Chains A and B, each alone.
Chain A
Amino acid sequence: MKNFVLLLLFVLPLFVAAQDNWQVPTAEQEKLSPYVFDNDMVKDGEVLYENFCISCHGTVTKNNPIVFVPSPGDPASEKFQSQPDGSIFYKISNGRGGMPSFAPTLEEEEIWSLIGYFRNFNREYVQPEFDYGDEVLSELAMVLSYDPNVDKLVVKVTSNGEPKSGIQVGAAVKGLFGKFILGNVGTNEKGLAWFDVDRNMPGDEEGNLTVQVRAQEGYSIKKAEEKMQLVNPTERTNLIAGRHLWSKAIKAPIWLIVVFNLVISCIWGIIIYIIIGLFRLKKVS
């Protein structure tokens, strides 16, 4: 048994070292992203990275992956960045050993957004053009409106003036640190998609929210961002307006000033009365 463990100790590193060279089929290496790695793509990739990858690969550029053999590596490292997009896509999708396969978990577009996020750390990277071939990318257009009768956000998708049905439309409200997803629905035959909006969502003083909408048909993506009056106006109250215990000295509550000064002056009044009395003690007889 002991010998076996020793043998394992010697052999395992060799085995692992051999494994370090991860071969990707040539056809897979040449695969390219049909999506443009724009800011939105990078942002999506960052969120995904923090949910699925950071626990092993560590914070990107910090070179602090978990201590494994072979090392998971930092996505910003030379070793990662020297690979073609297709190789990275293949490795994320299929996995190997400690690296799980993400094909069942993530959409293709999501995997590409992860790669977009990694490439964001490489200044020399220029995204190779994707050959769409015969596929015709339709020019999508969107019109956003609000239907106050049913409290719904209405998105109309058209292409060359014609309403497009069966298009997936996703809508979200933009927040300070993220998005609040309103939904993901397909357009009807009139090219319309409806989203429920809660009138109690916090907006600005006029009830405006920034809505982000995204329509997709194949590789054709159309995004729109619009500030719309969707919710009840928010009344903002200044927390330090008025007199409070937690406010500045000049904004102390009146009752406190009165009670404090009254008590102090009463006691010191008596003290002063007694001191004056003591100085007159000589005359008392």
Chain B
Amino acid sequence: MAKVRNENTVLLSEEKIERDLLSNINWSNKFKIWFGFLTALLVVCLWFYVLQLRKGLGVTGMNDIVSWGIYISNFVFFIAAALIGMLISSVLGMIGYTWIKPISRIAEIIAVAFAMVAGIVIITDMGRPDRLHHVLLYGRIQSPIIWDISVVMTYLMLSLLLLYIPLIPDISLCKEKLTGLPKFQKKLYKVLSLGWAGNEAQYKTIKRYFKILLILIIPVALAIHTVTSWLFAMTLRTGWDSPIFGPYFVSGAFVAGCAAVLIAMYFIQKNYKLQAYITDMHFDRMAKLLVLVSLVYVYFNINEILVPAYKFKPSEVKHIGNLLYGHDSLLFWLVQGGGLIVPFMLLMIPKMRKPLPAMLISVVILVAAWFKRYVIVVPTQLEPYLPIQNVPESFHSYMPTLPEIAITVGTLVMVLMIISVLTKLFPVVPVWEMKEELLEEQHQ
């Protein structure tokens, strides 16, 4: 590790670090085109949401039998992707891995973006979003849905603070060094820098706060995805009624999150020319981490499928059969084999951990992770304990409709917009931490 770092850091100086890391903060034409494209896409998706608001959830493919469709699958996926902030900054950071420093902010940005939009995803699944406040007014504290809302809000707040606190010195730097910025942006930096002077005591304070948050976010992050899994596991439904759903979801979340970070790292490195900071070493390690979490996830998958499939309880025969060789088997095996096992095996080959192949494999894993949530949420509802009878033929299956798909795409667009804006508004790699590291290395 030291060798790789030295190769890159020998040429670095404080001025170069500042120049390199602040260079992405501008509203380039390339960004404007990208953002314009996202906005146009979002507008189209919003039009479909207006359609859903006016006509109700009838415009979706959901019905009496499958009342949780791709909205809820999408929600679970978003919560999963949001969990990565905790793993990178908190767990690895506190163990003492310093290599995560340049990518910890990327992980936090991803966490914040997904956690923010996760709340919106839930609202899209509501037929009467105007009654959202009823959840607080009439909600039952015994319901996992109330726990979920509380813990999502808490996690979002903690993630925002974890993103924001290490940003304060950099925002102050932006305020001082950057010129030719729009007025609102200057004002934003001024407000957000909170009168940062860069003295020892201030650094000490934010480092202390940061540490408290790093510890606090571990249980909250575990809670957020465990409670999300409880939305399913607290029922008696075949396929959901499982005591290992919590760890199963958490381990799956790390897979999705690592893949998301690898993808973001690749595009940020290429677009913002940060090869000196986000190096091959980072891709290599993140890919190795992805292999590790994938293995854990595979382990939970084996438990989740093999144990009931061995026993073949009467109530589970249909559901497990559907997954293994029935109606949903193609998707199931594509997701498990093509989206999890093959990719992690490829990542065990050193050449595959180079930026481009690692990114491409991560894309496959991330897409499969989305469909994995679909496999968890939807098929089990088609095998209820009471037989499905006296319902229209269309109720015997579930197929998302165009408005439903468009609204889901819209939420993904929102995530991309948030990530894009944040990476254009602030330095993606912590400037002061890079400088600190440089000083330490020079001392040595």
Interface residues of A (CB under 8 A from B): 245-249, 252-253, 256-257, 260, 264, 267-268, 270-271, 274-275, 277-279, 281-282, 284-285
Q: Which residues of the other chain, B, contact A275 by a CB distance below 8 angstroms?
A: 161
Q: Which residues of the other chain, B, contact A252 by a CB distance below 8 angstroms?
A: 140-142
Interface residues of B (CB under 8 A from A): 138-142, 147, 150, 154, 157-158, 161, 165, 168, 194-197, 199, 201-202, 205-206, 209, 212-213, 216, 220
- Is A268 a contact partner of B195 (Cβ separation < 8 A)? no
Residue of A nearest to B217 (CB): A267
Docked Cα-Cα span, A96 to B166, in Å, equals 92
Residue of B nearest to A264 (CB): B150
Docked Cα-Cα span, A268 to B161, in Å, equals 12
Docked Cα-Cα span, A247 to B216, in Å, equals 32
- Is A285 a contact partner of B154 (Cβ separation < 8 A)? no
- Is A281 a contact partner of B142 (Cβ separation < 8 A)? no
- Is B201 a contact partner of A282 (Cβ separation < 8 A)? no
Most chain A CB atoms below 10 A, which of B141, B195, B196, B205: B141
- Is A249 a contact partner of B157 (Cβ separation < 8 A)? no
- Is A274 a contact partner of B220 (Cβ separation < 8 A)? no
Q: Which residues of the other chain, B, contact A278 by a CB distance below 8 angstroms?
A: 165, 168, 194, 209
Pick the residue among B165, B196, B201, B220 that contacts A267 (CB under 8 A). Answer: B220
- Is B141 a contact partner of A260 (Cβ separation < 8 A)? yes
Q: List 17 A-B contacts (CB under 8 A).
A: A245-B142, A249-B138, A249-B139, A249-B141, A252-B141, A252-B142, A264-B154, A268-B157, A270-B216, A271-B158, A271-B161, A274-B212, A277-B209, A278-B194, A281-B168, A282-B194, A285-B202
Q: Which residues of the other chain, B, contact A267 by a CB distance below 8 angstroms?
A: 154, 158, 216, 220
Docked Cα-Cα span, A275 to B212, in Å, equals 12
Docked Cα-Cα span, A249 to B206, in Å, equals 40
- Is B205 a contact partner of A281 (Cβ separation < 8 A)? yes
Q: Which residues of the other chain, B, contact A247 by a CB distance below 8 angstroms?
A: 142
Docked Cα-Cα span, A285 to B138, in Å, equals 47
Residue of B nearest to A283 (CB): B195
Docked Cα-Cα span, A245 to B92, in Å, equals 38
Residue of A nearest to B154 (CB): A267
Most chain A CB atoms below 10 A, which of B140, B199, B216: B140
- Is B140 a contact partner of A248 (Cβ separation < 8 A)? yes
Q: Which residues of the other chain, B, contact A284 by a CB distance below 8 angstroms?
A: 199, 201-202, 205
Q: Which residues of the other chain, B, contact A282 by a CB distance below 8 angstroms?
A: 194-197
- Is B205 a contact partner of A277 (Cβ separation < 8 A)? yes
Docked Cα-Cα span, A279 to B196, in Å, equals 10
Docked Cα-Cα span, A264 to B216, in Å, equals 12
**What distance in Å separates the Cβ of B230 from its nearest Cβ neighbour in chain A?**
12
- Is A257 a contact partner of B141 (Cβ separation < 8 A)? yes
**What distance in Å separates the Cβ of B135 from its nearest Cβ neighbour in chain A?**
11
- Is B141 a contact partner of A281 (Cβ separation < 8 A)? no
Q: Which residues of the other chain, A, contact B150 by a CB distance below 8 angstroms?
A: 260, 264
**What distance in Å separates the Cβ of B165 from its nearest Cβ neighbour in chain A?**
7
- Is A260 a contact partner of B147 (Cβ separation < 8 A)? yes
Q: Which residues of the other chain, A, contact B209 by a CB distance below 8 angstroms?
A: 274, 277-278
Residue of A nearest to B210 (CB): A274
Residue of B nearest to A245 (CB): B142
**What distance in Å separates the Cβ of B31 from its nearest Cβ neighbour in chain A?**
29
Q: Which residues of the other chain, A, contact B158 by a CB distance below 8 angstroms?
A: 267, 271
Q: Which residues of the other chain, A, contact B213 by a CB distance below 8 angstroms?
A: 274
- Is A285 a contact partner of B201 (Cβ separation < 8 A)? yes
**What distance in Å separates the Cβ of B196 from its nearest Cβ neighbour in chain A?**
7
Docked Cα-Cα span, A270 to B158, in Å, equals 10
Pick the residue among B161, B202, B212 that contacts A281 (CB under 8 A). Answer: B202
Docked Cα-Cα span, A281 to B210, in Å, equals 14
